[in-house]
Structure 1
Amino acid sequence: MDMAQMNIWEQLIFYFSENGLYIWSQFIRHFLISIYGVLFAGIIGVPLGFWISRHRKLADWVIGAANVIQTIPSLAMLSILMLGLGLGVNTVITTVFLYSLLPIIKNTYAGVKNVDKNILDSGKGMGMTKWQLTYMVELPLALSVIMAGIRNAMVVGIGVTAIGTFIGAGGLGDIITRGVNVTDGGAIILAGAIPAALMAVISDLILGWIEKKLDPTKNKRILT
């Protein structure tokens, strides 16, 4: 049967059957770009969140700067970074990194700031050093809030990665763009959009499950 004679769902199934490996490779590429950007943001954002929780006069400045980054349209951000980093994957990873900083820094700061002072006093009474209080008390208690920030960053990152196609980074955005550029390309657009949506939903569910598992109200082994 000719593609033109199929309905959109039949076209979609046909496109998947003919281009399954290509779609899968772009799916993996899209996921890796997203996760690398969020991972790098976590490496910088979590320590920065802890640092501003100890220097609260600077917290508004740091969070404000991250907020400013968030207000820049993603295409504009790609264009700005492209001037220095050029075309390709590195620019998109950097863009995801920048957009991921706000939720991670903000949630880390909020999680650490809201740790019960009585628990910290108990730790000090047990002779804990500042470093021990950080990784044995504050980090476990704030971890679920930090994970919520990473969860939000991941969902945002997956969306931002989709526009990486405009600078040659690949990913599922390539498939969506290909569908936009052809006549009756609705099925091709869906072939890129559905996996991207599933990636965001599944990532959100998995990270949400981890977030609940890390909830300190369900874990009584904090100071033991």
Structure 2
Amino acid sequence: MAANPWFSWTYVVENADTLWAYTVQHALLTVQAVAIAAVIAVPLGILVSRIRWMSGAVIGTAAVLYTVPSLALFAILAPFLGIGRTPVLIGLVVYALLVILRNTVAGIDGVDPAVLDAARGLGYGRLRVLLRVSLPNALPSVIAGLRLATVSTVALVTVGVVVGYGGLGQLMFRGFRNNFYRAEILSATLACVLLAVVLDVAIWAGGRALTPWRERGRP
């Protein structure tokens, strides 16, 4: 037991450079995947909230893709895109789409109709209503979707080890191969948890900065 502890500070110190390198790789892949998914999902959410007959098809397709097991999806993409970063990034974008898309649609649909009527009464056109009223009011829901997508993506990155690009998952896999070296596995796991917390807090703080009126409106 002493030779294979659950946690070893000595291991962390001696492998700090490796842990940091994989953590940076993990963080960059997460941020890139969520950013790309947001660029796709937010406009789609705006579109389907305006063209209702498209809603079922677009959200349904995203939901079907979301149900594909991550191991299977990465394995399916690998023969076409090769081994490494590209199939992992595309797979992560696919999984993040549904969460951000649903929250965007829910946020826009949740805008108070009285607020929209008041904006139209002031002479706002459809585009101005969208940019000045609907999107600002939907922003908290979009931020919540980004937070959920980010945390789930941090976990999913580790599965990318099956195609050779899994960030901290590489250390976990190496620990399993190295006679179940628990210190290596747990150190990588704790690094994943810490990374998820840091990114979640960063997005939360960004959301508060972008919606100062919500704080002013609280008693």
Q: TM-score, normalised by structure 1?
A: 0.89
Task: Note the C-alpha offset of 1:31.
Answer: 0.6
Separation in 1 of the partners of 2:178 and 2:216?
54
Contact 2:159 / 2:166 at 8 angstroms: preserved in 1? no
Contact 1:70–1:102 (Cα < 8 Å) also in 2: yes
Q: How many residues align?
A: 216
Between 42-51 and 181-190, the greater mean CA deviation after superposition:
181-190
Q: 2:164 corresponds to which letter in structure 1?
A: G
Q: String of CA shifts for 1:2-50, please: whole Å, max 9, x gaps.
A: xx845625x6211111110111010000011111111000000000000
Structure 2 regions of 5+ residues with no counterpart?
none
Residue of 5, 8, 12 corresponding to 2:5 = 8
Q: Which moved more, 1:210-219 or 1:32-41?
A: 210-219
1:219 is displaced (CA, Å) by 5.3
1:116 paired with 2:112, answer yes
Aligned to 2:46: 50
Residue pair 1:75, 1:163 contacting (<8 A) in 2 also? yes
Query: Could you say which residue in structure 2 is the equivalent of 1:218?
Result: 215
2:66 to 70, 73, 77: 70
Q: 1:189 to 1:42 in 2, by over 3 A?
A: same
Over aligned residues, Cα RMSD in angstroms? Answer: 1.9
TM-score by length of 2: 0.91
- Higher mean displacement: 123-132 or 201-210: 201-210
Moved over 6 A (4+): none
- Which residue number corresponds to residue 150 of structure 1? 146
Instruction: Tell me the CA shift for residue 184 of structure 1.
Output: 4.6
- Aligned partner of 2:13 in structure 1 is 17
The CA deviation at 1:111 is 0.5
Counterpart residue number, 1:136 = 132
SS of match in other structure, 2:8: helix
Is the alpha carbon distance of 1:57 and 1:99 closer, same or farther for their aligned partners in structure 2, counting shifts above 3 Å? Answer: same
Please list the CA deviations of residues 76-108 of structure 1 after superposition, one character each: whole Å capped at 9, or x if unmatched. Answer: 010111122111111111111000000111000
Cα distance in 1 between the residues matched to 2:105 and 2:72: 28
Measured in 2, the distance between the counterparts of 1:66 and 1:177 equals 30
State whether residues 74 and 162 of structure 2, in contact with CA within 8 Å, keep that contact through their aligned partners in structure 1: no
Percent of residue pairs identical = 34
Aligned-partner Cα distance in 2 for 1:84–1:6: 43
